Structure 1
Amino acid sequence: MFPWIEWVVARNMPLSEVDDPLTRSMSKLKPVCSKTLKVYLAMVAETVEATISAEMSDPVGIRFDASTFFLEKYVALFAMHWHDGQLKQTLLSIAPMEEGDLTAQSHCLFIQRIIELFHQSEANLAFLIGDNCATNRAIATRLNVPLIGCASHRFNLAVNSFLDNHKPEVNAVNTLMAALLTINNRSARAHAVIVAEAECDAVGLHLRDGGPLRLDRDDIKQVETVSDLIPKASMHWRIEALLADLRILQSVSVKLQSEDLTLADVRTLFDSVGQRFPSLKVKLSATASIVHSPTFEAAVVINGEVARLTTSDRKAVKRFEVSTATTNAGSKRKQRNDEEEKLEEDFTSSVLRAKKVGGAKPASSAYVKLLEKLPPTSNSCERLFSQAKLVLTPQRATMLPVNF
């Protein structure tokens, strides 16, 4: 029976796939009907829920996010807890909210109902991880737990504010690119590429890394219809400077997608970005107004080192104390492009490397290991929704969530 379950689930097939005569004729498995498969799927779900319940131990955190499918809001919940010497990030549910009531109170009730299915209560909750929106902050306040605001979401807000200060450069590029993407101009642009490639072949030059030839300012000038939209020299220099800054910010954004990144790593990155781009400190500083629980995050960043904790810090991480201490401690253009790529690659690496060389201490044995490994983003929820969009097709939209 399990191979049929694996086939349907792993391939995102409808349950009726096992009834299809063609599928049965191509399989060596013993035929089974969809009704029987549905019964066994429910039994597997119950067994998995029991296993998760047995593994979950206090303290427990919830990572959550929401997305809309076919006018219905779905909320994904992941349990974050420490088990068998490692951080467990277990999907508890992805289910729709009741229509018409999307307040913070309804979200609190939703979270409480889900964790009760796994024999947990509100008293077991130690923290939440989610976007930095007002609703999520209100949810954390109602549940009386700290909220770790998603670092990726927070960084995106900071970058958007950064781009607001460079609107002339951004608008100039957008206007030019919109014109270049029209049908007639695409043809002229393709002709410019063919001419440039022929010129390269004539002098024995080769494209770097075998990649596509990118049009520069001189190439674009060959497209007559956009000549008036080409930025002047001074604007061109500002755009190049902005592009260099954006490469650095992009490297940070990519690093925030790492699964092994901790809250302490994020604080190190954000502080370094704030030093390089002072205008971003408003969003990225440890005491920014967008931060729901600055005291809790500060205590986590210093890894619960007892000697450095203030009275308020100790109160914020009291839920993570352990009764018995453990002993585990755990050409010119080409040259310029190469330099920019090296800068982009080295920024996040050098910042985090300096943090390690600086002698970051492991979490104090007075606190559970979970405190040191708290994840700083809710990116896993976003990835789950991206996968769910491939499964929740219009044909499945009317099915019960437990069955789709």
Structure 2
Amino acid sequence: MPSNNKDICAYFYESLGQAMYRCKQCGSERKQLAGTGYSNLIAHLAHRHDGFKDQFAATLSSTNSRLQAFGFVSEETSHRFQWMQWVVERNMPLSEVDHERTREMSKWKVVSSRVLLSSMHHVAKKSGQNLEEIFGVCFGVMYDGWSHGCMHYVAVYGVFVENGEVCVQLLAVSPLEEGSQDADAHIKLFDGVLNVYNKKLDMVASIVGDNCATNQSVATKLGVPLVGCASHRFNLAVNRFLADSEPLLTQVNTLMSKLSQANNFVQLAKATNLHPIKRNITRWSSSFEMLQRYERIRPQIKTVEAVEELIPTGASHRKLIELLQHMKKFDSVTKKLQCDGIDLADVRLLFDSVIADYPCMREQLKPTAKIVHSPQFEPAAVKAINGGAMSSAEKAAVKRFEEPKRGTKREERAEDYASQILRAGPSKRPKTGGRSDGTIY
């Protein structure tokens, strides 16, 4: 029976995600980007495993071989899964699968709502058993809340390591008991959620969440470190930096508000298709977007006579353009903090570099900032990642963690401010135009 590289790789390799594959024969890990064929994987087999094609052919021709070994599933199972996926992801009622019109439009094999519900229970049970096994006895809990009307919901995630990669799995989205959103209510919720997976609170090694007082209280009562949101800390620091420029930002926001008025908007639309953008004072990113739009449409704004006196000129305009350049750097840091693969060592490197360029942001970004719940944990984690020597207190802070060997990071292609910092490492940083006192003019 003829075979191709795709089938061979499906048999000999296990996918680890992120374009990485593990050889089932020797355990070696190889990288193969999607859409680039299978040359790298096949080359490993040819170099390390002589006769792999004969082995594959023998397995393929064996009467005892199972299609599941090659990653295949039956059509019935595939269709059943697609029905479940459709109902869950589209938030459809189960009864929809019984509807005659739905069945006419679908090419999937017909399934009743009763059978589908039974399959969902089976999948949920199996998934829970799988999570119970891979969680082990040491894992993290990440959570965040959302309020709607009088109800406050909390999404709870499990954070664990599988095959050398950090995994985040949604465990529950549940409302808190009415009348309380304090630390005890959160801990009670976590206890109930973990009990579903036969896990206990004393197995939790850390929690991940916002830097608010409630989360700090949760961490204190559980006796674990709080890995606070780095983006939240950075936003506070940026707001501190922008405080001195508030009059200029207010001036531009007033201009944008005037341009949004009906008559002025019509006049502006004759010169450009771009609309004015007003800022949301609670988010500095909206101020960044507002300044970007201001710079983009400033020539067209001059065609609107009613706002001519509101347009920043001379020194004010130059200060705004200079401020925009700083905000572009801050935006690159914000985006980098939200990327997959960023660890605490990367965060500390970014924060230290920003502090060096903008000293006024130090109080929010330094390791011992007041907002940090576990000041010993962050330096210890950074040293563990970088292979540095730790003090006794730092060793105690990370005693429960076993840090896997750190692999070589992929080279960043982007040339923005944050990427340059991470690529250069602690010893070198890109030159910037920040003033030593943190001001922009």
Residue 276, structure 1, aligned to residue 354, structure 2: no
Aligned mates of 2:390, 2:294 — CA distance in 1: 55
What is the Cα deviation at residue 288 of structure 1? Answer: 0.4
**1:299 corresponds to which of 361, 367, 380:** 380
Displacement of 1:356: 7.5
Cα separation, partners in 2 of 1:187 and 1:345, compared to 1, 3 Å: farther
Query: Cα offset for 1:98?
Result: 1.2
Runs of 4+, deviation exceeding 6 Å? none
Within the candidate set 99, 115, 119, 1:40 is matched to 119
CA–CA distance in 1 between the matches of 2:269 and 2:424? 46
Indicate conservation of the 8 Å contact 1:251/1:345, yes or no.
no
Q: Which moved more, 1:62-71 or 1:148-157?
A: 62-71
Partner residue in 2 for 1:60: 139
Aligned match of 1:114: 193
Aligned equivalent of 1:347: 417
Structure 1 counterpart of 2:96, which letter?
Answer: E
**Which residue does 2:91 correspond to in 1?**
12
User: What is the CA–CA distance in structure 1 between the aligned matches of 2:399 and 2:335, rounded to whole Å?
Assistant: 33
Give 5+ residue unaligned stretches, structure 2.
1-79, 274-292, 408-413, 429-441
Q: Secondary structure at the match of 2:110?
A: coil
Question: Distance between the aligned counterparts of 2:114 and 2:95, measured in 1?
Answer: 9
Counterpart position of 2:60: none
Aligned to 1:22: 101
Deviations 1:149-175 (A, max 9, x none): 011121122222222221101101100
Match of 1:308 among 353, 369, 389: 389
Q: In 2, distance between residues paired with 1:7 and 1:177?
A: 43
**Contact 1:58 1:81 (C-alpha < 8 Å) held by counterparts:** no
Residue 61 of structure 1 contacts residue 79 of structure 1 at CA under 8 Å; is this kept in 2?
A: yes
Aligned length: 324
Q: Identical aligned pairs, as a percentage?
A: 40
Is residue 2:150 matched to residue 1:80? no
CA positional deviation for 1:306:
7.1
Q: CA deviation at 1:304?
A: 5.7
Alpha-carbon distance in structure 2 between the residues aligned to 1:52 and 1:255: 30
Which is bigger in relative contact order (C-alpha 8 A, separation at least 6)? 1
TM-align CA RMSD: 2.4
Partners of 1:92 and 1:356 lie apart in 2 by 37
Retained in 2: the 8 A contact 1:61–1:127? yes
Partner of residue 225, structure 1 = 306
In the alignment, is the contact (CA less than 8 A) between 2:158 and 2:171 conserved in 1?
A: yes
- Unpaired runs of at least 5, structure 1: 195-211, 331-343, 359-404
Q: In structure 2, do the counterparts of structure 1 residues 277 and 63 end up closer, same or farther at CA, with 3 Å as the change threshold?
A: same
Q: C-alpha displacement at 1:307, in angstroms?
A: 5.9
Cα distance, 1:187 vs structure 2: 1.3
SS in 2 for 1:258: coil
Contact 2:345-2:385 at 8 Å conserved across structures: no
Choose 1 or 2 for highest CA Rg. 2
Q: Does 1:259 align with 2:340?
A: yes
Secondary structure of 2:249 counterpart: helix
Distance in structure 1 (CA, Å) of the matches to 2:231 and 2:388: 31
Shift of 1:313: 0.3
Q: Distance in 2 between matches of 1:161 and 1:214?
A: 23
Q: C-alpha offsets along residues 318-345 of structure 1, whole Å, 9 cap, x if unaligned?
A: 11259xxx8x554xxxxxxxxxxxxx94
Q: 1:262 to 1:306 in 2, by over 3 A?
A: closer
Query: 1:326-341 to 2 correspondence within 5 Å?
Result: 330=407
Q: Give the C-alpha shift of residue 117 in structure 1.
A: 1.3
Q: Is the 8 A contact 1:74 1:97 kept in 2?
A: yes
Cα distance in 2 for partners of 1:213, 1:171 equals 13
* Residue of structure 1 in register with 2:328 after alignment: 247
Counterpart selection for 1:129 from 208, 214, 229: 208
Q: Kindly tell me: are residues 229 and 264 of structure 1, through their superposed partners in 2, closer, same or farther at Cα, counting changes over 3 Å?
A: same
The letter of the residue matching 1:88 is C
**One-letter amino acid of the structure 2 residue matched with residue 303 of structure 1:** A
What amino acid is aligned across from residue 342 of structure 2 in structure 1? Answer: L
Q: Could you tell me whether the CA contact under 8 Å between 2:336 and 2:419 is conserved in 1?
A: no
SS at match of 2:211: coil
Displacement of 1:88 = 2.1
Task: Provide the C-alpha distance between the structure 2 equivalents of 1:298 and 1:214, rounded to a whole number of angstroms.
Answer: 41
DSSP-derived class of the 2:340 partner: coil
Aligned to 2:179: 100
In the aligned structure 1, how far is the partner of 2:426 from the partner of 2:247? 40
CA distance in 2, matches of 1:21, 1:74: 36
Aligned residue for 2:339, secondary structure, equals coil
Q: Find 1:164's aligned residue among 243, 249, 269.
A: 243
- The normalised TM-score by structure 1 is 0.75
Amino acid at match of 2:227: I
1:7 deviation in Å? 2.4
Alpha-carbon distance in structure 2 between the residues aligned to 1:285 and 1:351: 17
Task: Give the C-alpha shift of residue 346 in structure 1.
Answer: 2.7
1:150-189 paired onto structure 2 within 5 Å: 150-189=229-268
For the 8 Å contact 2:144–2:156, the answer to whether it is kept is yes
What CA deviation, in whole Å up to 9, does each residue of 1:112-145 have, x standing for no partner? 1111211211221111110001110000001110
Amino acid in structure 2 at the alignment position of 1:255 = K
- Report the counterpart of residue 203 of structure 1 in structure 2: none
- Given that 1:57 and 1:82 are in contact with CA atoms closer than 8 Å, whether structure 2 keeps it comes out as no
| TM-score when normalising by structure 2 | 0.69
User: 1: CA distance between counterparts of 2:347 and 2:415?
Assistant: 17
Task: Sort the Cα spacing of 1:356 and 1:23 in 2 relative to 1 into closer, same or farther, 3 A.
Answer: farther
In structure 2, the residue matched to 1:51 is: 130
- 1:2 aligns with 81
Deviation at 1:283, TM superposition (A): 0.7
1:276–1:49: structure 2 CA closer, same or farther, 3 Å change rule? same
Deviation at 1:277, TM superposition (A): 1.3
> How far apart, in 1, do the equivalents of 2:388 and 2:110 lie?
65
Separation (CA, whole Å) in 2 of partners of 1:348 and 1:173:
27
Residue 148 of structure 2 is aligned to residue 148 of structure 1: no
